[in-house]
Amino acid sequence: MSIFGKKQYTDDELVAGCAANDRRAQEALYRRFFPEMLRMCRRHTRDDDTALDILNRGFLRVFQKIHTFAFKGSLEGWIRRLVWHSLADYFRDNARYSHFLIFEERDETVPERSSEIFHEEDILRAVKTLPHVSQEVFRLYAIEGYSHAEIAQNLNISEGTSKWHLSTARQKLRDQLNEYERMENRRMARNWNTGTSQ
């Protein structure tokens, strides 16, 4: 028991309790991981209401899937990936999926038109053109939500190498996005000229 009279759960007890729909275990899990998961959501959104909505959707997914957690990694890492997927769903629904996956906060703002025309299938097609390791690092980090430490362990590379591959992948994808936008703009210009000449 804690000094406040609330039970201190181990990860095993949290998982078992949440899988059994124990409200106390669910509350304990939520309270334990809420601060860090909220920080992650806030890094990618502009207001607290949106961040909280995304976070709560993420935790709903956690409680729905907790019975599948197999202790093959940390519980926090598993929860982080599910909340990350909730973030990805939000940006996909708001036509800003390419911005979320490819562009980091410190990068230059993406033109709005790019966000509208570069869809998920385009991203996945572009990812397949990357070198194998860069492709794996990008997929694990940007799409699956793994940390660089987890990727380094999974791929038997250093964290620095993982970060380098992510940076390289993002730059190549940005270049492809920009070329895609130029091609789309030329196509639209041709269509417009053809329409006005008739």
Domain extent, residue 159, equals 96-198
pLDDT of residue 111: 40
Given 62, 94, 126, the domain boundary residue is 94
> Are 100 and 184 in the same domain?
yes
Q: Is the pLDDT of residue 5 over 70?
A: no
DSSP 46-75: SSHHHHHHHHHHHHHHHHHHGGG--SSS-H
Confidence of residue 176 (pLDDT cuts 50, 70, 90): confident
Confidence of residue 6 (pLDDT cuts 50, 70, 90): low
77-121 per-position pLDDT tens digit: 999 999 988 988 888 787 676 777 776 533 333 344 344 445 666
> Are 88 and 102 in the same domain?
no
> Are 19 and 105 in the same domain?
no
Q: Residue 143: CB partners within 8 Å, gap ≥ 6?
A: 88, 101
CATH of the domain at 8: 1.10.1740.10
Going through 145-196 in order, the beta strands assigned E by DSSP cover: none
Given 38, 62, 94, the domain boundary residue is 94
> Are 101 and 196 in the same domain?
yes
What's the CA gap between 162 and 149, in Å, rounded?
A: 8
What's the CA gap between 10 and 68, in Å, rounded?
A: 17
Of residues 160 and 196, more confidently modeled: 160
> Are 88 and 103 in the same domain?
no
> Are 87 and 153 in the same domain?
no
- Percent of the chain residues past pLDDT 90, beyond the cut: 42
> Are 77 and 4 in the same domain?
yes
> Are 84 and 122 in the same domain?
no
Max CA distance (Å), the chain? 80
Q: Is the pLDDT of residue 50 over 80?
A: yes
Buried b (16+ CB within 10 A) or exposed e, 124-141: eebbeebeebbebbbbbb
Q: Is the pLDDT of residue 29 over 70?
A: yes
Given 36, 67, 94, the domain boundary residue is 94
> Are 87 and 141 in the same domain?
no
CATH of the domain at 187: 1.10.10.10
pLDDT of residue 118: 54
**Residue 110: which of 192, 7, 57, 181 has the closest Cα?**
181
**Residue 61: which of 96, 92, 37 has the closest Cα?**
37
> Are 156 and 176 in the same domain?
yes
- Pull the structure tokens for residue 20: 């059994």
Give the chain's domain count. Answer: 2
pLDDT of residue 54: 94
Q: Calculate mean pLDDT across residues 127-137.
A: 90
Q: What is the pTM of this model?
A: 0.66
Torsion angle, CA of 109/97/163/153, rounded to 10 degrees? 160
> Are 74 and 85 in the same domain?
yes
> Are 167 and 108 in the same domain?
yes
pLDDT of residue 119: 60
